[in-house]
């Protein structure tokens, strides 16, 4: 749920001026890919609860951005 709210923040605040759309998308994609690389890396010892929380927030952000895209497309 927290990731869904973050996605609303990420999609509305930079879009107020209209010229930050590409930059905010690039930052979101880069952050997502870096987190995925860290989360799914093999052979390292990780604190499982923290990784699970970060991954759930990441999934919520992706889901929220898809929902916003469908709202704009209809």
CA 54 to chain centre: 10
Report the chain's mean pLDDT, rounded to a whole number.
Answer: 79
Question: Considering its fold, how many domains does the chain have in total?
Answer: 1
- Domain span holding position 11: 2-73
Long-range contacts: 40-47, Cβ < 8 Å, 24+? Answer: none
Confidence of residue 31 (pLDDT cuts 50, 70, 90): confident
| Higher-confidence position of 20 and 50 | 50
The half-sphere exposure of 22 on its side-chain side, counting CA atoms within 13 A, is 1
| Higher-confidence position of 44 and 52 | 52
Radius of gyration of the chain (CA): 14
Confidence of residue 32 (pLDDT cuts 50, 70, 90): confident
């Amino acid at each position: 749920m927290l990731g869904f709210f973050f996605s609303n923040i990420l999609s509305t605040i930079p879009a107020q001026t209209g010229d930050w759309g590409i930059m905010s998308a690039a930052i979101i994609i880069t952050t997502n890919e870096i987190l995925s690389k860290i989360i799914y890396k093999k052979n390292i010892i990780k604190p499982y609860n923290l990784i699970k929380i970060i991954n759930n927030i990441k999934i919520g952000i992706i889901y929220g951005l898809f929902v916003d895209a469908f709202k704009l497309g209809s």
